[in-house]
Structure 1
Amino acid sequence: MIEAIIFDFGDVFINLDHDATPKALKELGLKEWNEELHQLNQKYEIGKIDEFTFMTGIQKFIPNAELVDIRSAWNAILLDFPLKRLEFLQMLSSKYKLFLLSNTDATHIEKFEHQLGMSFAREFYGCFEKVYFSFEFGFRKPDENAFKFVINNHNLIPKKTLFVDDKLENIEAAKKLELQTWHLQVGKEEVTDLFNRI
């Protein structure tokens, strides 16, 4: 019997275009996304560095690009958030304890809130007992500490908790902690199909 559900954010609720940011950065002159940039991104996603440090870190590899253009390219990944997903979530929140667990950064969240409006964002956040963004609490999936943090903070019973994510590595990490899982297939499945899974 499922009592609680932990959701991922990107490609579960908000649609993403994973090719858009690399393409936009390439247009600004970035030759390749290298290991230094990967490490920089990881630090930014767990709040170890601020936005300015992150953006200037990228700018080092594309010195002719303006920071505002780099920021815009970084946010190109974010697409729409279908209203039916919010309505489904609102209905679900009366039946289960819901949590959001997302690997994300301050830039993307600010863009999401601006793009869809704060009233929409507040309605979305209001569906959850607690929202966990990696840049705010310092852990990112698939680190098992990210899951343990949520489980322990809310006294969740893993076997009675469902974790929904589109990335297999995160699903596998959750399974090791005995969480129930749904590996959502983007483009083939909808989060609104959840009741078919429970």
Structure 2
Amino acid sequence: MRNRSVISLALVAGAALAVSACIPRGGPVGNAAVPQPAKAVSLGAYLGPWYEYGRYENSFEKDCEAVTANYARRSDGLIRVTNTCRQGSVDGKVKQSVGKAKIVEDSADAKLKVSFFGPFYGDYWVLDRGEPGPDGLYPWSIVGEPSGRYLWLLTRAQRPDEATRALLERRARELGYDWSLVRLTRH
């Protein structure tokens, strides 16, 4: 009986190691000291459609333009995450990924675990965000995770105004991100 438990544990550990080797890795570390999220997040003000203003380049968004993300409540309490991009150009072939997210306890709803690969979850931290507008929604957010290899700058506007663009660059730099690694997304 004990041998079966040891064998089962070894198989599970081996499978987890094999799958983790298949999960895409980010590029260079663009922030060696990622801060904790600056503000609490109201899920109701965060849900809905977002446009990607810019990002650190990564393998799963290679050659993506016109990137959008949409967050919606699911009946099971999780959040449906739908990421869409156009391959190669703003008129390119549509590529879409649907995943799920759950809020990390005791994070003021600013940290989520997101999965696009079955039971495997990655960190998604809302590091900063704007104050809700007249529509009750956050107008912008800066998203990262603990390794400093990933960064996303999101806005509600497809083409944010100059003031918002300047604010996003300033805040990303203040949070410790290397702006020279940011790839602006075309829409």
Same fold (TM over 0.5): no
- Give the TM-score normalised by the residue count of structure 1: 0.26
Whose relative contact order is higher, 1 or 2, with alpha carbons under 8 Å and at least 6 apart?
1
Select the structure that is richer in helix: 1
TM-score (norm 2): 0.27
